[in-house]
Chain A
Amino acid sequence: MNGNSARGDWLLLIIFAAVVLTAPFTLSYIGAGYPDLLQKFAIFGIFAIGFNILFGLTGYLSFGHAAFLGVGSYASVWMFKLFTMNVIPAVLFSVTIAGIFALMIGFVSLRRSGIYFSIITLAFAQMSYNLAYSVLSPITNGETGLQVRHLAPTDRGPDYVLKLVDEDLRWIDQAFGVVEDGIPITNLFGIKMSGFEGFYFCAVLLIIGFFISIRISRSNFGMMLRAIKSNQNRLNYTGINTRPYLLAAFVISGMYAGLAGSLLAVTDPLAGAERMQWTASGEVVLMTITGGAGTLIGPVLGATIIKYFENIFSAINEGILQNLFSFMPEGLMDIFVAVVGMFVGKGWHLTLGLLFMVIVIFLPGGLMEGVRRIGNLFRRSSKSAAPQPSSQAAE
């Protein structure tokens, strides 16, 4: 059984990698084959995978994970501004900073469980959001957001006041004599990190992140996390100190969020406080639950579907609807356009809300539960319908 499950995991990883890497071609059939959206799929997939390590395995519902996303973005943009437009140092720095940040927040908030834990994490995230907006403006550039800018002039006199939020230094790039023409684009040793190249960079990190999450959930550590979700009290009487396990899970998921935030900055080098708002924290909860909390693929699936809806449904406007219903008589068409119009365009949240309700009511285990049920259905029907060629079915 062990050998099989290990082989199954490798197979899962290979299929996952294949699906992710071919996404630009396959998803173009549903109108999602363009890099901006694909990057979002990958980035929020990473975010949700990390969130699932905490929420899916331990059952601790953090409502403040967007704080780590935001911290990751700011950290990356600062790396771009101060050192280099190469993305590797930025990514590493963001993950580290988000990890340290998560260690501090987790240390405090994990003193409580259940709803109290959720509220404390929410409070921390809102604090971070408000700090980024106001007090920390010298670091975050407040409302405007932090951006990559032009280089500061090299012949700065003694009276020159350097404002780092508006002017960049890029010491490493300058030391290597990189010539900048306008505001530079992030790069990976010369490969521009925009468009499909940007997507593939995110995709590789998504696959690595997915691999790590498989390893974690199959490990001793992962089993302890599932035991925490199942019966934390009993685990304490079994001789396990649950606090460090929870803190480790919290920090790991915070680092995933930091990575996602960093990649947001890599693909579009600016960071704003709104990334830390509670709606952003809520979004990753929706993604994970929609796809299936505690499953491996569920979070990525949920992230993809929600980002797809956000981009595709919100892009449908009245004109498109009128075209769609143009075969109807005029009065009827107007009614249809008005009714359907509530669910698309700016009203796409309504569709998302309905989708979420339907999933939670009928598939409490998320979309992955639906996939499993369909799989069971097929297995049962193939067993009862064709009992004879069992040697074939076994393959």
Chain B
Amino acid sequence: MENVVLHVNDVVKTFGGLHALSDIDLAVREGETHAIIGPNGAGKSTLLNVCIGRLEPDSGVVVFDGEILTGKKPHEINQLGVARIFQTPEVFLDLTVLENVMVPALAKRDGAFKMNAYWPISREKNLRGEVEALLEDMGLADQANQVASTMSRGDKRRLELAMGLIQKPRLLLLDEPTAGMARHDTNATIDLLKKIKASGMTKVIIEHDMHVVFSLADRISVLARGKIIAQGTPDEIKNDPKVKEAYLGEEQV
């Protein structure tokens, strides 16, 4: 049995009368890329929000590497090594691209709070070198000193990804990393995520695009109406009749 890093344990979440998540049980193993798919409104984003502490579940707990995440504050969850990439790029629009990545890099190195109000940020030569190397990898180096609000949407998504990667999180949660991207951008992102995969980082991906899912995922969980209806390798999922009925059938894959 492989090491389970993230364990979602009987999580229930309702909004009013709507069962967004009912009895979700999910285990993500160390080093794997776990995709969560499902039709619109299946509860995928709700599940991620429960994992990172944005939403409190009605019952059940999320356990990450022996620590209960449920009830912890967002910054505490991040400090444990869980980073999240948002669906709509949430970057610091008034900061430069370099600063956008420096912030999570400092959060990783210095923790949730460190008072360093005298020495200028330009003294952080090592950290800056690390950030610049990552920006180079992501193809954002020439925009490093640009303010993030001037970037294209696709570039913002890549920046968002860089902000997650600089922390070298033990678990990276990606919410539709390629939504709204042009085909060649999507392929570039897939290549990048494959590279990350080779480094052994555990990932959970929510994705609509089956092309992305089947080229990246080691295992897939299918979510429909707040329940996990199937779990398995990409091949198993492809051939699962329940999945075809609930989800793939609609999309004609």
Contact = CB atoms under 8 A, between A and B. Distances in A.
Q: Which of B75, B119, B167 has the most CB of A within 10 A?
A: B75
Q: Which of A222, A231, A238 has the most CB of B within 10 A?
A: A238
Interface stretch (B3-11, B38-46, B110-118, B203-211): B110-118
A240 B112 contact: yes
Contact of B107 (A216, A238, A244, A248): A238
Interface stretch (B86-94, B134-142, B220-228): B86-94
B24 to A, nearest CB: 21
B113 A226 contact: no
B50 to A, nearest CB: 14
Interface string A9-22: 00000000000000
A239 B107 contact: yes
A5 B120 CA distance: 10
Nearest to A234: B90
A235 B145 CA distance: 20
Nearest to B167: A239
B133 interface: no
B145 A1 contact: yes
B74 A220 contact: no
Contacts of B78: 236-239
A239 B78 CA distance: 5
A223 B95 contact: yes
B79 interface: yes
Interface string B212-237: 00000000000000000000000000
Q: Which of A1, A216, A231 has the most CB of B within 10 A?
A: A231
B106 interface: yes
Given A219-B118, A220-B116, A222-B117, A240 B90 contact: no
Contacts of B124: 220
Interface string B45-80: 000000010100000000000000000011100110
A238 B104 contact: yes
A244 B113 contact: yes
Given A226-B95, A229-B94, A231-B93, A236 B116 contact: no
Contacts of B170: none
B36 interface: no
B163 interface: yes
B74 to A, nearest CB: 4
A221 interface: yes
Nearest to B163: A238
B113 A231 contact: no
Contact of A219 (B74, B86, B99, B120): B120
A249 to B, nearest CB: 9
Contact of A248 (B52, B74, B115): B115
Nearest to A294: B94
Contacts of B110: 220
Given A1-B145, A223-B103, A235-B103, A240 B113 contact: yes
Contacts of B114: 220
Contact of B122 (A218, A237, A248): A218
Nearest to A228: B92
B112 A239 contact: yes
B90 A221 contact: no
Interface string A224-259: 101101110111111111101100100010000000
A215 B117 contact: yes
B116 A221 contact: yes
A227 B73 contact: no
Contact of A239 (B54, B79, B95, B118): B79
Given A223-B102, A226-B94, A248-B115, A215 B107 contact: no
B108 interface: yes
B92 A241 contact: no
Interface in A326-347: none
B75 A241 contact: yes
Contacts of B75: 236-242
A2 interface: yes
A239 B106 CA distance: 9
B151 interface: no
B156 interface: no
B34 interface: no
B84 interface: yes
A257 B166 CA distance: 39
A374 interface: no
A234 B93 CA distance: 11
B121 interface: yes
A324 interface: no
17 contacts: A216-B117, A219-B119, A223-B102, A226-B95, A229-B94, A231-B92, A236-B75, A237-B84, A238-B104, A239-B107, A239-B111, A239-B112, A240-B103, A240-B107, A240-B112, A241-B112, A252-B117
Report the 7 A-B pairs with minimum CB-CB distance, sorted nearest first: A239-B78, A239-B107, A2-B122, A241-B112, A221-B117, A230-B92, A218-B120
